[in-house]
């Protein structure tokens, strides 16, 4: 009786632990077939509500249709930009990186440093058509130690948007050409009873940091060099500190009550609802002005676009997609996929779908785009006369430094942190890397 | 029970749990302890650095100092006031079936909603411009009120604490379940003896549920050693480091700075902290004592 | 004397009323977030942020439809149900066994074992990610619901342990002693006597374990790659994007996410209460 009982217990426990396995066990190993397509694994952040999700679905379908039987693309969907970074880091630390990775937040740098990326230079040399489609600056930006490690299919072109109606009400004729004029316009808006700027501090203070970068990036050669540098460590120089002081003034005098602590969407809705007159953001925002779920009807007609005072604009080459395959056959297949994503025709399609500016100089501003995204066309035109080009922090600075921005901006805003100390804290944080 | 026969059963019953524990927690535990003494960053090889990490953590790191202080305060608040809150509610609703049903189901809801979602909701509620709290205060008390609850250094800590302090449903559930195991006869004979409701609660029920209170204190206190999602979604540890908790600091060190060695040093500190709490509460509340 | 009694009665009613008020405040405070999320799920993202306290203009199910379109919601829902079901069963079963021997038998090393098992209460998740990931890959369980079940059983280990330890200790030893005198064996005592009267304890632990399995995001995300084993918390991430967060779909998804737990809890509440009132069996 006892023994049966004992065995009974053991069997029950085992069964219960194993039953999920028995019921949901994965299928048996597929037979290896020499003529089977090469399978590559791609991790994609372009899912859900991401602005590039539609494009990516299209790209996958196109590629799969044209490579039937030769290359099979297995996609793992990874929603959320930070989740994407976290997952890649786990895969990196366990040496299980996929074949294609899309860089963001310095992932490319990290994987290159760890020695896991595939050198794309031989592939570029072997395919002059593909090579010539790129803007050399993009390739240079993705080059480490004379080896091209990544390829991009877009650039980030960022100016700022303003509410034409509110500008008129305040008596402003056109966007400011100098910073002192800009400050004057802020006062004019305030005097007309309008809150001038949308700002934020959450999620690294995206909107606010665009203004900070522009102030620094247009302050002269030193500032401009700094805003084009990768992973700077020292933030304590006069141009930077002066710019931080301006940001402090923005927070204290020229923005909404929920800017401190607000995230991007709070700033955006303040702009859409007409509470504020100015918001800095990239060309992907243009679609939102006509989206009934996001903005009130007819809002798109009220919006104008400008480049920053002193002729500044963000024209960032982007760190692109890269390959971490371990075998040559997979690397070849992955490069085929990268070639497809980055060729000018695909970039054209991306441009038309999202309004994000393409990387290749070969992609033209067609009439379709001019009609669909007149603001983007305006920005292109304006940036031809721009004097200063620079990057934004999320693309260039250390991850822990941009994260610090979220907690330092509130202190700066309420005066408990001085601009000098702000710069000092950023430097200290950068040194931790 | 005969000891030799019993031992076989003891081993058998313990085996699945122990095996699972070793499989899932064994290696991580060893890794955390071992790598706390190294400089281990994601893309570079490991180097041994002895006590350097600990020295930095305890003596040189301002952020760590604030995080430690915050975490200690939160552990204290959670183990005392929070448990008291849950216990009080359990007492108030004891033996009142309808009230208990309504209370337990609704009070559980904030705990069911994950910390991330709770954080998002709190951001809306405490929004300085149109949040519920400020709208209410503006209408009834002071029309000019625009306090930024989460991001003003003077109120940030308080507001973040509310995010977990207020929701003591789990404590309430456990205490109530424990109270209901008290046999009816004891309570009835006390009532016959003329004891008031209040006296019964203080002198009879309270001592009987003391071990469970101890358990709740352990669970609440140690939950503060893991809490970071709510803070991450709302203030991210700011303004400055006012609301930085040790687990959040660990998370940032690991995932933003890729400094796994230092992160695990913080992990060791948390483990030591946790063990002290468990041992201390066990002793105070005799959690492991057998029932009489 | 009569005066004392009267004032005694007044203070008693006063404190009763205070107690009721307190409970009502707590209930309102707890229901408010859910009601707000529900109302917001009928508004557009713009309306939610622009005027969060306003009532929706109409009961629009657009957000609910969108939730299914933007993410693999239905599939993840099914996976969540399966993973949670087995995660809860597995956890309760193995800990029902272990907590019993740890609660009842004073053998050497018992307290040490309990302490070591308690460490799982404090070990940070970041320390667990890599080793568990490697373990799951090496055992061929990557991207399976089984892996998630096993990890969740382990994650819920400490809390269930403490709850069941506490509960088992309230069972008077007299019950087992009298059964032993009648010649019952260990398994008989456990399965025929202890288990039935412990059901309220199991139910309480089950509720907490359910919440853990249902809500867990980190390991569900790291240990899976395709969609076949992914669970609901990952679906919620589909609606979040730095520039494109869709609060309408997100809140609709949250409502659908929270309802099963509430239902589960209501069902188990009855189980807990009925089990407890039968506690007179103990006597």
- Residue-wise pLDDT for A272-315, tens only, equals 999 999 999 998 899 899 888 889 989 999 999 999 999 999 98
Question: What values do phi and psi take at A143, rounded to 5?
Answer: -100, 135
**Is C238 within 8 Å of A203 when comparing Cβ atoms?**
no
Nearest CA in chain C to A41: C225
Mean pLDDT of C169-189: 85
In this structure, is residue C191 part of a structural domain? Answer: yes
Q: How confident is the model at residue B2 (pLDDT cuts 50, 70, 90)?
A: low
Please name the helix (run of DSSP H) or strand (run of DSSP E) that holds residue B67, with its range, or none.
Answer: helix B62-77
Query: Cα–Cα distances in Å, from C259 out to B227, C250, C263?
Result: 25, 14, 6
Chain C residues touching residue A355 (CB < 8 angstroms): none
Chain C residues touching residue B222 (CB < 8 angstroms): 121-122
pLDDT at position A4 is 44
Q: How confident is the model at residue B169 (pLDDT cuts 50, 70, 90)?
A: very high
Number of domains in chain C: 2
The range of the structural domain enclosing residue A215 comes to 156-316+382-431
Chain C residues touching residue B34 (CB < 8 angstroms): none
Chain C residues touching residue A1 (CB < 8 angstroms): 185
pLDDT at position A199 is 96
Picking from C46, C149, C240, the nearest residue to A269 by CB comes out as C46
Do the beta carbons of residue A260 and residue B151 sit within 8 Å? yes
What CATH class does B62-285 carry? Answer: mainly alpha
Q: Highest mean pLDDT: which of A172-181, B48-57, B113-122, B200-209?
A: A172-181
pTM of the model as a whole: 0.89
Do the beta carbons of residue B239 and residue A410 sit within 8 Å? yes
How many CB pairs lie under 8 A apart between chains A and C?
120
Residues 6+ apart with CB under 8 A from C148: C83, C87, C219, C220, C223, C224, C229, C231
Bridge partners (DSSP) of residue A255 are A197
**Is B21 within 8 Å of C154 when comparing Cβ atoms?**
yes
pLDDT at position B143 is 86
Encoding tokens for residue A248?
């402090």
Are residues A145 and A165 both part of a single domain?
no
CB proximity B106 to A under 8 Å? no
Encoding tokens for residue C29?
């405070």
ipTM of this complex: 0.88
The range of the structural domain enclosing residue C238 comes to 62-278
Are residues C28 and C137 both part of a single domain?
no
Are residues A146 and A290 both part of a single domain?
no
In this structure, is residue A230 part of a structural domain? Answer: yes
**Is C50 within 8 Å of A269 when comparing Cβ atoms?**
yes
**Is A5 within 8 Å of C185 when comparing Cβ atoms?**
yes
Are residues A182 and A46 both part of a single domain?
no
E strands within chain B? 38-39, 47-48
Are residues A96 and A176 both part of a single domain?
no
Q: How confident is the model at residue C281 (pLDDT cuts 50, 70, 90)?
A: very low
Picking from A1, A8, A293, the nearest residue to C46 by CB comes out as A293
**Is C222 within 8 Å of A294 when comparing Cβ atoms?**
no
Are residues C231 and C106 both part of a single domain?
yes
Bridge partners (DSSP) of residue A44 are A77
In this structure, is residue C283 part of a structural domain? Answer: no
Q: How confident is the model at residue A24 (pLDDT cuts 50, 70, 90)?
A: very low
C neighbours by CB contacts (3+ pairs under 8 Å):
A, B
Residues 6+ apart with CB under 8 A from A318: A103, A138, A141, A152, A154, A155, A156, A359, A395
Are residues C251 and C140 both part of a single domain?
yes
Q: How confident is the model at residue C16 (pLDDT cuts 50, 70, 90)?
A: confident
Q: What CATH number should be reported for the domain holding residue A260? A: 3.40.190.10
Number of domains in chain A: 2
CB proximity B130 to A under 8 Å? yes
Mean pLDDT of B9-29: 92
Bridge partners (DSSP) of residue C202 are none
Own/partner pairs, A65-71, CB within 8 angstroms, 24+ separation: A66/A340, A67/A37, A67/A336, A69/A37, A70/A37, A70/A38, A70/A333, A71/A37, A71/A38, A71/A39, A71/A40, A71/A333, A71/A336, A71/A337
pLDDT at position C276 is 57
Are residues C161 and C248 both part of a single domain?
yes
Instruction: Annotate A11-72 with DSSP letters as a single string.
Output: HHHHHHHHHHHHHHPPPPPPPP-TTSPEEEEEEE---TT-TTHHHHHHHHHHHHHHTTTTEE
**Nearest-angstrom CA–CA distance, B202 and B87:** 12
Residues 6+ apart with CB under 8 A from A167: A173, A189, A277, A304
pLDDT at position C1 is 54
**Nearest-angstrom CA–CA distance, A319 and A225:** 18
pLDDT at position C104 is 87
Mean pLDDT of A249-271: 93
In this structure, is residue A14 part of a structural domain? Answer: no
**Is B240 within 8 Å of A9 when comparing Cβ atoms?**
no
Nearest CA in chain B to A91: B42
Q: What CATH number should be reported for the domain holding residue C110? A: 1.10.3720.10
Are residues A417 and A392 both part of a single domain?
yes
């Amino acid at each position: 009786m006892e023994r049966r009982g004992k065995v009974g217990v053991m069997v029950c426990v085992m069964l219960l632990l194993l039953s999920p396995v028995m019921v949901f066990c994965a299928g048996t190993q597929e037979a290896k077939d020499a003529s089977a397509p090469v399978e590559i694994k791609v991790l994609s952040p372009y899912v859900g509500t991401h602005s590039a999700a539609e494009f990516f679905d299209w790209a996958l379908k196109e590629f799969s249709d044209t490579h039937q039987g030769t290359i099979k693309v297995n996609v793992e969907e990874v929603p959320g930009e930070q989740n994407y970074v976290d997952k890649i880091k786990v895969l990196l630390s366990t040496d299980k990186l996929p074949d294609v990775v899309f860089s963001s937040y310095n992932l490319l740098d990290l994987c290159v440093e760890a020695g896991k990326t595939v050198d794309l230079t031989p592939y570029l040399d072997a395919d002059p058509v593909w090579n010539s489609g790129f803007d050399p600056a993009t390739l240079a930006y993705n080059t480490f130690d004379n080896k091209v490690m990544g390829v991009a299919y877009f650039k980030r072109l960022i100016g700022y948007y303003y509410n034409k109606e509110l500008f008129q009400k305040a008596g402003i004729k056109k966007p400011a050409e100098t910073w002192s004029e800009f400050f004057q316009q802020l006062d004019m808006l305030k005097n007309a009873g309008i809150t001038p700027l949308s700002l934020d501090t959450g999620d690294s203070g995206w909107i606010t940091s665009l203004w900070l970068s522009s102030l620094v990036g247009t302050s002269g050669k030193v500032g401009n060099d700094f805003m084009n540098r990768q992973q700077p460590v020292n933030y304590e120089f006069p141009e930077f500190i002066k710019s931080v002081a301006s940001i402090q003034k923005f927070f204290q005098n020229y923005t909404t009550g929920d800017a401190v602590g607000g995230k991007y969407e709070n700033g955006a809705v303040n702009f859409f609802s007409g509470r504020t007159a100015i918001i800095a953001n990239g060309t992907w925002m243009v679609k939102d002005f006509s989206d009934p779920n996001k903005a009130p009807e007819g809002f798109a007609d009220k919006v104008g676009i400008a480049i920053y005072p002193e002729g500044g604009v963000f024209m960032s080459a982007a760190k692109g997609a890269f390959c971490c395959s371990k075998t040559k056959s997979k690397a070849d297949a992955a490069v085929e996929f990268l070639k497809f994503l980055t060729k000018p025709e695909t970039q054209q399609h991306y441009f038309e779908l999202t309004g994000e500016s393409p990387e290749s100089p070969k992609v033209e501003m067609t009439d379709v785009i001019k009609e669909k995204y007149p603001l983007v066309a305006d920005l292109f035109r304006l940036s031809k006369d721009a004097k200063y080009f620079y990057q934004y922090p999320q693309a260039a600075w250390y991850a822990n430094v941009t994260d610090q921005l979220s907690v330092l901006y509130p202190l700066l805003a309420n005066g408990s942190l001085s601009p000098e100390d702000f710069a000092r804290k950023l430097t200290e944080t950068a040194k931790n890397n | 029970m005969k000891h030799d026969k019993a031992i076989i059963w003891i081993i058998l019953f313990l085996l699945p749990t122990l095996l699972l524990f070793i499989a899932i927690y064994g290696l991580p535990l060893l890794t955390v302890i071992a790598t706390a003494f190294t400089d281990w960053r994601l893309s570079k090889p490991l180097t041994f650095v002895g006590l350097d990490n600990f020295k930095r953590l305890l003596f040189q790191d301002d952020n760590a100092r604030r995080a430690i202080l915050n975490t200690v305060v939160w552990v204290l608040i959670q183990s005392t006031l929070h448990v008291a809150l849950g216990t009080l509610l359990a007492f108030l609703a004891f033996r009142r079936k309808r009230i208990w049903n309504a209370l337990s189901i609704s009070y559980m809801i904030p705990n069911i909603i994950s910390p991330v979602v709770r954080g998002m909701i709190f951001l809306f509620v405490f929004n300085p411009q149109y949040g519920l709290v400020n709208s209410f205060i503006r209408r009834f008390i002071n029309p000019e009120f625009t306090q930024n609850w989460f991001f003003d250094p003077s109120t940030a800590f308080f507001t973040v604490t509310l995010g977990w302090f207020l929701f003591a449903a789990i404590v309430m559930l456990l205490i109530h379940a424990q109270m209901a195991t008290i046999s009816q006869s004891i309570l009835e004979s006390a009532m016959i003896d003329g004891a008031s409701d209040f006296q019964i609660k203080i002198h009879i029920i309270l001592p009987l549920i003391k071990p469970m209170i101890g358990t709740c204190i352990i669970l609440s206190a140690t939950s503060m050693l893991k809490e970071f999602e709510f803070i991450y979604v709302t203030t991210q540890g700011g303004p400055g480091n006012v609301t930085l908790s040790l687990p959040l600091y660990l998370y940032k060190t690991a995932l933003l700075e890729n400094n796994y060695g230092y992160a695990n040093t913080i992990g060791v500190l948390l483990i030591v902290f946790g063990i002290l709490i468990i041992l201390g509460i066990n002793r105070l509340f005799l959690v492991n004592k057998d029932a009489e | 004397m009569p005066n004392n009694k009267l004032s005694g009665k007044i203070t008693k009613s006063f404190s009763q009323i205070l107690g009721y008020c307190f409970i009502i405040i707590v209930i309102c405070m707890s229901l408010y977030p859910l009601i707000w999320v529900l109302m917001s799920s009928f508004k557009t993202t713009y309306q939610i942020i622009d005027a969060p306290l306003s009532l929706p203009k109409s009961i629009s199910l657009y957000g609910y439809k969108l939730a299914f379109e933007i993410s693999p919601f239905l599939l993840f829902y099914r996976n969540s149900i399966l993973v949670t079901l087995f995660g809860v069963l597995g956890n309760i079963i193995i800990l029902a066994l272990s907590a019993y021997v740890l609660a009842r038998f004073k053998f050497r090393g018992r307290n040490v074992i309990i302490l070591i098992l308690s460490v799982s209460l404090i070990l940070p998740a970041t320390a667990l990610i890599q080793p568990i990931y490697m373990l799951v890959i090496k055992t061929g369980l990557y991207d399976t619901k089984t892996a998630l079940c096993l990890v969740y059983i382990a994650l819920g280990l400490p809390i269930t342990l403490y709850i069941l330890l506490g509960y088992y200790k309230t069972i008077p030893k007299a019950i087992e002693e009298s059964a032993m005198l009648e010649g019952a064996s260990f398994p008989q005592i456990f399965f025929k006597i202890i288990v039935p009267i412990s059901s309220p304890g199991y139910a309480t632990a089950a509720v907490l374990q359910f919440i853990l399995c249902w809500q867990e995001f980190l390991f569900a995300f790291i240990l899976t790659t395709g969609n076949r084993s992914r669970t609901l918390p990952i679906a919620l991430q589909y609606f979040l994007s730095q520039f494109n967060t869709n609060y309408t779909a997100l809140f609709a998804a949250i409502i659908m996410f929270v309802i099963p737990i509430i239902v589960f809890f209501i069902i188990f509440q009855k189980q807990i209460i009925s089990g407890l009132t039968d506690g007179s069996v103990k006597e």
